[in-house]
Amino acid sequence: MKEDDLKHGAFGWNELMTTDVEGAKQFYRSLFGWETEQAALPGMDYVMIKVDGDSVGGITTLPPQCQGMPPCWGVYVTVADVDATAKKAEVLGGKIICPPMDIPKVGRFCVIQDPQGASIAAISYQRE
């Protein structure tokens, strides 16, 4: 991940949740020339998307709590403090779709719905 992606307010990650990870890999590799690499995440089918060797996103299976939802792309915006961002979103009229939670060895994220109904994820990356 590039340093600019780690700045507060930067679009830092893109993720596809789908019902067919293998089909999505083939489609997007053919369409955009993306490289893909299976990630070693226990209990999770997660594929890293790379452009010129740089990780730019991922593809994963729709989780059980999203059953019935159509496949979709999500975007993650980097923030300094996920918990503070979630609280501020609520104060501003937003709704928390997925409360702040940790992603081991990655950081902490939440999913916010704005007052108009659009969703976006906020993430604070773990610094090594």
Res. 128: pLDDT tops 70: no
Long-range pairs for 32-36: beta carbons < 8 A, 24 or more residues apart:
none
* Residue-level pLDDT at 117: 87
Q: pTM for this structure?
A: 0.79
pLDDT in tens, 32-58: 999 999 998 877 889 999 999 999 999
* Residue-level pLDDT at 1: 66
Residue 70 Cα distances to 49, 63, 74, 122, angstroms: 21, 12, 12, 21
Res. 100: pLDDT tops 70: yes
* Third-level CATH fold of 1-73: 2,3-Dihydroxybiphenyl 1,2-Dioxygenase; domain 1 (3.10.180)
- CATH 3.10.180.10 assigned to 79-128: yes
Domain with CATH 3.10.180.10 in the chain: 1-73, 79-128
Average pLDDT over residues 88-102: 94
